[in-house]
Amino acid sequence: MYAYDIKLKILKEYLVDLPLKFGAMHFYNNKLYIIGGYTYNDYSKMPSDKTYSISIEEFENTIPNRIKTLSPESDLVKTN
């Protein structure tokens, strides 16, 4: 999961350990919902009927796996 702070131009990567791939993500009422997708094992993949919710506050209390500060955009348009 990646979170981008548009004011500080900081990209943070968080590890979310779910037994799921290709789930759809939705944001509602300060929660991130992950719906559907597939569960995998060594021999098969099965559609998932599970729904997971993660409060956005959890990311404030979690140490990011990686942080990257992006360079500010260059001015492409001259101002007079």
What are the tens digits of pLDDT across the range 22-70? 999 999 999 999 999 999 888 888 999 999 999 989 888 899 999 999 8
* Type of residue found at 12: K
Confidence of residue 16 (pLDDT cuts 50, 70, 90): confident
Considering only residues 71 and 38, tell me which one the structure prediction assigns the higher pLDDT.
38
At residue 38, the pLDDT reads 93
Sequence ranges of the domains in the chain: 2-69
C-alpha to C-alpha distances, 2 to 42, 50, 68, nearest whole angstrom: 27, 22, 11
Count of Cβ atoms closer than 10 Å to residue 37 Cβ: 20
The answer to whether 14 and 34 are in contact (CB under 8 A) is: no
Residue 32, helix vs strand vs coil: strand
Question: Which residues does residue 44 pair with via DSSP β-bridges, in sequence order?
Answer: none
Q: Which residue has the tokens 């943070």?
A: 12
